Amino acid sequence: MCATSGTLGEIPRGNRLQFQPREGADKSGKELGTQKGTGPFFTCIHFVLAWPDAVASVATAMNMKTRSTLLLSRLPALALLLAVFLAGCGKKEDPAKVLRVGFFPNITHAQAIIAQQMEAEGKSWYAPRMPAGVTLRWLPFNAGPTAMESLLIESIDVSYVGPNPALNAYVRRGGKDIRQLTGSATGGSALVAQPELALSPVPQAADFKGKKIGTPQYGNTQDVACRVWLVKGGLKVHKTGGEAAIVPMQNPELVQLFGQKDIDAAWTVEPWVSRLVAKGGKIVPVKRDFPDITTLIATCERTLQTQPVLVRAFVKAHGELTDWMNKNPDAALGYLHRGLERLTGTKLDAKLVASAFKNITFTTKVDRASMRAFVDDAFSIGMFETKEKPDLVNFFHEENTEK
C-alpha cells in the first residue's frame, strides 16, 4: 500500500509539475475525493516529490541561507524516498495494523513531530498506547488541501490540518466525509507589518488601504482570517485585488518579499511569524471575535467505519501527549527542536524555535461556537461555493469539543 496522495501539493515555483484535474473534477475541486488514487506509481511519486519540498519549506523558515544549500538538503530525503518507492509501492498493509497519519513539518503540528522524535530516540509515545502490533505511518504534506484530498482518496487515515482546508473539504462533499476528531493547537498566527508602516493607535483595516498583504495560500486559515478582518473593517476586497491587495504565496517567498519591502505586511503562522519579527516586522494587535484555531485532527467516514479501535486509541494517546507537553514544556521543546532538525537535515536556530513554540497553545479542545463563527465569516466573503451557509452538524465527531 502506498500511503500518499494522488496529486501534488504546493511545490515551490520553478519546481512544479503541472497535472490536469482528474476526470469528473473541475479546477475548483467541486467533486473532490469522488475517486480513489491513481495507483501506487503516481501516489508514490507524489510522496517522493512532496516530502523534500515540505522539508525544504521548513528549512527555509529556519534560516537556511541559499538555494544551493536548500537543494542539497533535499537529496538525502529524495534518495531515501526513491528507495522506499522501489521497495514498497503496491505492498498491501493490514488496515487493522497500520494507521496512516498525515502531518506538516510545522511547529503548529508539534505533537506529530515530537512523537516521531521520541520514537527515533527509542522512547515511542504511541507504541504502548496503541493496540498490540499496530504501526503508525507518518506521512508529510505541504498543504492542507492535499492532505484532505488524500483522506478522501484513501491514501491516509487521519491528518493534522488547519480548520479551513478541513471545512472546505467537508462542504464540497456535502458534509458526507470529513470529520473532526479532536483539537491540537490554537494561536501562533499573526498579522506582521513593516516597521515603518503607520498604524492607528488602535490598528484597523483602514490602515492597510492600498497596501499589499501576503498570506500563505488562497483559502487557507490565515488567508481567510485576513480577508474577513479587512472586509469587516470596511475595505472592499476580492480574490485578485480591491482596496487592499492580498497576495497568496508560499511562506519562504513571503518572508523573502517582506525582507525586500515588496509587501507591506503578512498574515501567517509560526515559525514564519518569528522569522518576520526577526526581520524587523511588528505584530499588529488584531481583535478576534473567537479563538485562533490553528490545527485540528481530521479523518473521514471510511476510517471511522473500518478502523474505529485504532482511531480511538490514537485520539486518546494524542490527548495524553498534549497534556505531557503542557506539563513538560522544556522537554517537549527539546524533542521538537531535535525532531525538526532531523526532518530538515540542518541545524536550526534554537531561539527561533523557542520563540515560535511559546506563541502556540497546545490543546485538544475545539470550541464549537468558534468553529461556527469561523464558518460564518468564511461564508460571508464567499469562500464556500454554496448558496446556503454550511451546516456543521456532522463535522464534529470527537468528544473533546466544547459546545
pLDDT band at 217 (very low <50, low <70, confident <90, very high): confident
The pLDDT value recorded for residue 43 is: 47
63 in helix, strand or coil? coil
Q: Is it the case that residue 310 has pLDDT exceeding 50?
A: yes
Is residue 136 within 8 Å of 80, Cβ to Cβ? no
Per-residue pLDDT of 333-357, as tens digits, reads 999 999 988 987 778 899 989 999 9
Reported CATH class of domain 189-284: alpha beta
Question: What radius of gyration, in Å, describes the C-alpha atoms of the chain?
Answer: 20
Q: Residue 154: pLDDT above 80?
A: yes
Per-residue pLDDT of 68-117, as tens digits, reads 444 444 444 444 444 444 444 545 677 779 999 999 888 999 999 999 99
pLDDT, greater one: 167 or 53? 167
Most confident of 2-6, 178-182, 224-228: 178-182
Average predicted confidence (pLDDT) for the chain:
79
The per-residue pLDDT for 276 is 94
For 392, phi then psi, to 5°, come to: -95, 15
How far apart are alpha carbons 19 and 85 in whole angstroms?
Answer: 20
Tell me the C-alpha distance between 265 and 273, whole Å: 11
Pairing relationship of beta strands 366-367 and 401-402 according to DSSP bridges: parallel
Q: Is 305 exposed, middle or buried (0-12, 13-18, 19+ CB in 10 A)?
A: exposed
- Give mean pLDDT, residues 304-330: 97
Question: Residue 95: what pLDDT?
Answer: 75
Overall average pLDDT of the 146-175 stretch: 91
pLDDT at 377: 82
Q: What pLDDT sits at residue 172?
A: 86
Q: Which set of grid coordinates corresponds to residue 67?
A: 538555494
Residue 77 region, left (φ>0) first, then alpha (ψ -120 to 50), else beta? alpha
Cis preceding linkage at 271, omega within 30: yes
Confidence band of 370 (pLDDT split at 50, 70, 90): confident
Place of cell 507589518: 193
- Set of cell numbers at residue 199: 498604524
Question: According to the model, what pLDDT value does residue 254 have?
Answer: 92
| Residue 251: pLDDT band with limits 50, 70, 90 | confident
**Contact of 146 with 308, CB cutoff 8 Å:** no
What residues does CATH 3.40.190.10 cover in the chain? 40-187+293-402, 189-284
Q: What is the mean pLDDT of residues 189-213?
A: 95
- State the CB neighbour count (10 A cutoff) for residue 54: 24
**Mean pLDDT on 265-285:** 92
For the four alpha carbons of 372, 373, 376 and 379, in that order, the dihedral sign comes to: negative
Is residue 179 within 8 Å of 297, Cβ to Cβ? no
Higher pLDDT, 224 or 208: 208
Out of 162-171, 285-294, 367-376, which region has the weakest mean confidence (pLDDT)? 285-294
- The average pLDDT across 355-368 equals 91
Using a pLDDT cut of 90, give the percent of the chain over it: 48
Nearest Cα to Cα of residue 298 among 384, 221, 211: 221
Single out the residue of 367, 320, 391 nearest to residue 111, CA to CA.
320
Q: At what angle do helices 40-61 and 329-344 cross, to 10 degrees?
A: 120
Q: What is the pLDDT of residue 143?
A: 73
Tell whether the model's pLDDT for residue 61 goes beyond 80.
no
CA distance 232 to 161: 26
Q: What percent of the chain has pLDDT over 70?
A: 75
Q: What is the pLDDT of residue 369?
A: 83
CA 160 to chain centre: 7
- Taking residues 355-367, what's their average pLDDT? 92
Cell triple for 400: 473533546
Q: How far apart are CA 125 and CA 117, in angstroms?
A: 10
**Predicted local confidence at residue 239, as pLDDT:** 79
User: What confidence score (pLDDT) does residue 135 get?
Assistant: 94
CA dist 162 and 164 (Å) reads 6
153 with 31: CB under 8 angstroms? no
- Could you tell me the three cell numbers for 273? 511569524
Quote the pLDDT of residue 291.
65
Which of these, 268, 288, 250, lies nearest to 142 by C-alpha position? 250
Q: Is the pLDDT of residue 65 over 60?
A: no
Backbone angles phi, psi at 3, to 5 degrees: -95, 70
Supply the CATH classification number for the domain 40-187+293-402. 3.40.190.10
Say which range, 18-27, 118-127, 353-362, 393-402, has the weakest mean pLDDT: 18-27
Can you state the percent helix, strand and coil of the chain, rounding each to 5?
45, 15, 40
